[in-house]
A and B are shown apart, each in its own frame.
Chain A
Amino acid sequence: MSIIDYSDASFPVRDNITEAHNRYWKRLASPGNWLTAAERIGVAKEIRQARSCELCSKRNAALSPYQLEGQHDSVSDLSDVMVEVIHRVITDSARLTKAWFDGIMQQDLKIEQYIEIIGTLVHVFSIDEFCRGIGEPVRELPDPLPGEPSHYRPANIVEDGDGSWVPMLSAVMQPGPESDIWEGKIEGNVIRALSLVPDEVRSLKDLLIVHYLDDEEFMDLEKSPQGTLSRIQTEVVAARVSAFNGCFY
């Protein structure tokens, strides 16, 4: 099992970041709910490949990215539709459309698999991007463990997604196996978005706390999340990065 170790990094990485990244790496190496461990590692490999994919590069430069057909430069055994999702979300997410999503869903991909791909993608990408930010190489991916996906699907799913493209758990959590995720409050859509695969929300929250702030503290505007930057300084970075990404949400 590959272990993430930042002790030799040029800058001092908090222990809780290293610990959270290792918890995720361990999960990445294990079978998920809808993907095998090998498929999850395949997602991670494609994330790292997407930025050098020629088709993605052409689409990125095009005014009409959906007019360009072609094959992605893939480095895994994942299906074409999975590779299309990963490369497109990594390289051109601001221009995703409902028509694109509907087209993906008409291919051989379950919505639960889609959510687990997105969860895996965003978690691995945030860890890779953290490494880039502190000037360290991306960490070696773990070897996949054997086993089959559990095919777990939670109850209390709002199938129409309350206006989103994807089904998700109710904003007000019902008692049951998912009540650890956001008990006792109304949860925001960006957290709910991955809740068709609840473990993706658990990983999101685990990483969110160490990268940004605890979801429970979001509206505590006096709090300095990690102690070195004020909340205002934190939000300056968040806002500028989000602006580059064209993030309306």
Chain B
Amino acid sequence: MVLRVSIESSGESIDLDGLTDPACTEIKGIPHSEVLLKFSNAFMAYDPEALALARDQLAKEISPEAMVDTAAIASNFQRMVRIADSTGIPVESMGDDMDAMVEELNEQLGINKYVSAANSKKR
């Protein structure tokens, strides 16, 4: 959702359909998305060799500092999901317009089919 709003606020037009699909290797219009997705995929696959390759490629293509920041972001989202899943928190309402946008995006990206949706849907 934040990504969608971020893109709209920047005035860009980017197709987000592949965002939740591990087979999608690039999102046109987002600079360096290929190496960022490659790192994220290898990180979540717990594949040390693929991760080492992705790490080096990201550091070379963007910068070593960006590689560290990418690892920091990825590890942060290993944390946030576990907080949400283990406490059964519902998604907050952000107003009718934003809620409608989120619902549309969730449907578009298949997020409504996640098992955890049963715990996090607004109550």
Residues of A in contact with B (beta carbons under 8 Å apart):
11-14, 17, 51, 85, 89-90, 93-98, 101, 115, 118, 121-123, 125-130, 132-135, 161-166, 188-190, 192-194, 204, 207-208, 210-212, 218, 221-222, 226, 228-249
Contacts and interface: CB of A to CB of B under 8 A. Distances in A.
B68 A135 contact: no
Contact of B114 (A163, A194, A211, A246): A246
A165 B44 contact: no
Contact of B119 (A89, A98, A229): A98
Contacts of B120: 248-249
Interface residues of B, number: 75
Given A93-B81, A193-B84, A247 B20 contact: no
B3 A133 contact: no
B75 A165 contact: no
Contacts of A89: 82, 85-86
A89 B6 CA distance: 31
A212 B73 contact: yes
A143 B14 CA distance: 49
Interface string B90-117: 1110000000000000100101101111
B37 A96 contact: no
A133 B83 contact: no
B80 to A, nearest CB: 6
Nearest to A191: B83
Nearest to A129: B75
Contacts of A162: 90
